[in-house]
A and B are shown apart, each in its own frame.
Chain A
Amino acid sequence: MPKYTLTINQKKQTVDVDTGTPLLWVLRDSLNLTGTKYGCGEGICGSCVVHIDGKAERSCILNVEDVAEHSITTIEGLAENPDHPIFETWIELEVMQCGYCQPGQIMTLAALLEQIPKPSRKEIDDAMNEVLCRCGTYQRIRKAVDKLVGEGK
Chain B
Amino acid sequence: MKTSKIKRREFIKVVGLSGGGLFLASYVPLQDVLAKSGDDPKIFAPSVYLKIDSNGIVTIIVHRSELGQGVKTALPMLVAEELEVDWDKIEIEQADADRKYGSQTTGGSTSIRRSWEPLRIAGATARVMLITAAADKWNVAIENCEAEKGFVINKLNSEKISYGDLVEEASKLPVPEGIKLKDPKDFKIIGKRVHRVDTPDKIYGRAKFGIDVVIPGMYYAAVSRCPSFGGSVKNYDEAKAITLPGLLNVFQISNGVAVVADSTWHAFNGRDALNIQWDLGPNAKINSGDIHNELVKKSKTEGYEFESRGDVSKDIEGEKILEAIYEVPFITHAPMEPMNCVAKYENGKAELWVPTQNPQNDRSEVAKVLGISEDNVTVHVTLMGGGFGRRLISDFAVEAAEISKAIEKPVKLTWTREEDMKFGWYRPPSMHVLNGSIDSEGKAQKFSHHVIAPSIIQMRFSPDLSPDNYDIKEGTVGLEYKIPNMRIAGTTIKTHVPISWLRSVYNTQNPFAIESFIDEMASAAFMDPIEFRLNMLPDDSRLKNVLNVAAEKSGWGVGKILPKGKGRGVALFKGYDSYSAQIHEVTVTGNKVKVDRVVAVIDCGIVVNPDLVEAQMEGAVAFGLSAALKGEITIENGGVKERNFDDYEILTYNEMPEIEIHYIKNTFPVGGVGEVGVGACAPALCNAVFAATGQRIRKLPIKLS
Residue positions of A touching B, CB distance < 8 A: 1, 17-18, 21-22, 25, 28-30, 32-42, 44-45, 47, 74-76, 78-79, 82, 87, 90-91, 94, 96-103, 106, 125, 128-129, 131-142
Q: Could you say which of B195, B214, B334, B388 contacts A32, with CB atoms under 8 Å apart?
A: B214
Smallest Cβ distance from B197 to chain A, in angstroms? 11
Q: Are B417 and A99 in contact (CB under 8 A)?
A: no
B196–A134 CB distance below 8 A: no
Asked if B587 is at the interface (CB within 8 A of a chain A CB), the reply is no
- Is B548's CB within 8 Å of the partner chain A? no
How far is the CB of A102 from the nearest CB of chain B, in Å? 5
| Among candidates A82, A91, A97, A134, residue contacting B650 with C-beta atoms closer than 8 Å | A134
Interface 9-mer from B151-159, B428-436, B494-502, B619-627:
B619-627
Nearest B-chain residue to A128, judged by Cβ: B653
How far does the alpha carbon of A134 sit from the alpha carbon of B626 in the complex, in Å? 9
Distance in angstroms from A45 CB to nearest chain B CB is 5
Residues on A with C-beta less than 8 A from B203 are 75, 79, 87, 90-91, 96, 99, 102-103, 106
Chain A contacts of B205 at CB under 8 A?
A: 33-36, 74-76, 78-79, 103
Interface string of B618-648 (1 = CB under 8 A from A): 1111110010000000000000000011100
Chain B interface extent, by class: 35 or more
Task: Please state if B651 and A96 are interface contacts (CB–CB under 8 Å).
Answer: no
Are B69 and A136 in contact (CB-based, < 8 A)? no
Hey, which chain B residues are within 8 Å of A138, CB to CB?
622, 651-653, 656
- B264 CB–A CB distance under 8 Å: yes
Decide if A136 touches B264 in the complex (CB within 8 Å). no
Inter-chain contacts of A91 with B (CB < 8 A):
195, 199-200, 203
The stretch that binds A, out of B28-36, B290-298, B335-343, is B335-343
Point out the residue from B615, B626, B645, B646 that lies within 8 Å of A97, measured CB to CB: B615
Give the residue of B70, B646, B658 whose beta carbon is less than 8 angstroms from that of A42: B646
Contact B618 A34 (CB under 8 A): no
> Which residue from chain B places its CB closest to the CB of A39 in the assembled complex?
B336
Residues of B within 8 A of A41 (CB): 416-418, 644
Whether A142 contacts B386 by the Cβ 8 Å rule is no
A74 contacts which chain B residues (CB < 8 A)? 205
Give chain B residues whose Cβ lies under 8 Å from the Cβ of A45: 336, 417, 645
Residues A133 and B620 in contact, CB atoms below 8 Å apart = no
In the A-B complex, the 8 residue pairs with the smallest Cβ-Cβ separation, listed nearest first, are: A35-B205, A136-B622, A100-B385, A98-B68, A99-B202, A75-B205, A97-B68, A34-B212
Residues of chain A within 8 A (CB-CB) of B659 are: 139
B654 with A100: CB separation less than 8 A: no
| Binary interface encoding of chain B residues 660-671 relative to chain A, with 1 for a CB under 8 A from any of its CBs, else 0 | 000000000000
Interface residues of B in 470-501 (CB under 8 A from A): none
- Residue B58 lies at the interface, judged by CB distance under 8 Å to chain A: no
Complex CA–CA separation, A137 to B620 (angstroms) = 10
